[in-house]
Amino acid sequence: MTSGVRMPTQTRDPRAAPDRPLETEYRPRVAIDARRAIAYQQRGAHDPSHTVHEGIIWRVSRTPEGVATLAIRVKRDRVRGAAWGPGAEWALQQLPRLCGAADDPDGFEADRHPLIADVHRRHPALRIGRTDLVFDALASAIFEQKVTGLQAFGAWRMILTWCGERAPGPTPRPMFAPPADWRLIPSWTWHRAGLEPPQAKTVVSAAARRASIERAAASATDGDARDRVFTSLPGVGVWTSAEARIRAFGDADAVSVGDYHLCHQVGYALTGRRVDDDGMCALLEPWRGHRQRVIRLIGLSGAVEPRRGPRLAPEDHRGR
């Protein structure tokens, strides 16, 4: 909720060494679960652009001003940030939105279902954060099309480590920003990383239109308009568009239709049985405007359908 944001002040001693960070402190006027909002952006336990070390969240981003490393310490009533690199000022200005400050839960009626009401009561500070980095959100979603999380996160880790830019600042381990130009990644590198050719082709094709995609998506006024921007790209469907909207814009209404597990999870939590995508959309319809919020609350509920068989084993088509 933007009314609850006190914009950060940044401090820098002009006599300080070049590697000294810019710093800020953000104090939301209402309680927000900043740690959980930020954690959603991590792509697997070994994401080279996101890690947690000794209670500090480290993130590396390619901002409009250049690469930035952001170190975030979340306290009970405040969030402290330190940033390095040419994009440091941009990263600190964006920090409140990353923490969920732009997410407005007004009008959300949790009491439409007892499970949702209970979880909302236990997690009233839940917020949906946003990165405001359109293309990187889209690229990470494309990586996750039609594969297991293990495969997608592994490919993301390899591509960023091999082709990304080393993070500035005293990161706790080597960290990397996404590539400056995804089109320069050779085909054999995509293959070695384990990303399927259709996904690699989609990322490269979208990268050719990066500037126009970012302008159009940022200027769009709602989720439907952003869907039209993203799905105009070859290889990008409604699932990928929804995931990009959630990550880049903190879209509280986005629903990742086509997800292999999501409809089953929503159906089981709200009715005790599986449903398909149409059934999921019907169940979530009363919360239109806040459907992603309901999905997040379901994820926190612990209502998990019992496993019916072995997990899907990832396929690896790379030559040995």
Structurally, at CATH architecture level, domain 134-247 sits in Orthogonal Bundle (1.10)
**Hey, what long-range contacts does 241-244 have (CB within 8 A, 24 or more apart)?**
241/141, 243/137, 243/140, 243/141, 243/144, 244/134, 244/137, 244/138, 244/141, 244/217
Joined together, the tokens standing for residue 137 give: 């959100």
Q: What is the share, in percent, of the chain residues with pLDDT greater than 90?
A: 87
**pLDDT for 25-70, tens place per residue?**
999 999 999 999 999 999 999 999 999 999 999 999 999 999 999 9
Q: Rounded distance, CA 55 to CA 238, Å?
A: 36
Torsion angles phi and psi, residue 41, rounded to 5: -80, -10
- For the domain spanning 2-6+21-113, the CATH number is 3.30.310.20
Which pLDDT score, from 0 to 100, does residue 317 have?
53
Same fold, 2-6+21-113 and 134-247: no
Q: Rounded distance, CA 151 to CA 196, Å?
A: 10
Q: In the chain, what are the domain boundaries?
A: 2-6+21-113, 114-122+250-304, 134-247
Joined together, the tokens standing for residue 200 give: 């690699």
Q: Where are the beta strands (DSSP E) in the chain?
A: 22-26, 50-53, 56-63, 66-74, 79-84, 165-166, 176-177
In this predicted structure, the answer to whether residue 72 has a pLDDT above a threshold of 70 is yes
Joined together, the tokens standing for residue 263 give: 């409809």
Least confident residue range of 160-164, 194-198, 307-311: 307-311
Joined together, the tokens standing for residue 278 give: 């149409």
**pLDDT for 119-176, tens place per residue?**
999 999 999 999 999 999 999 999 999 889 899 999 999 999 999 999 999 999 999 9
Q: Rounded distance, CA 251 to CA 217, Å?
A: 12
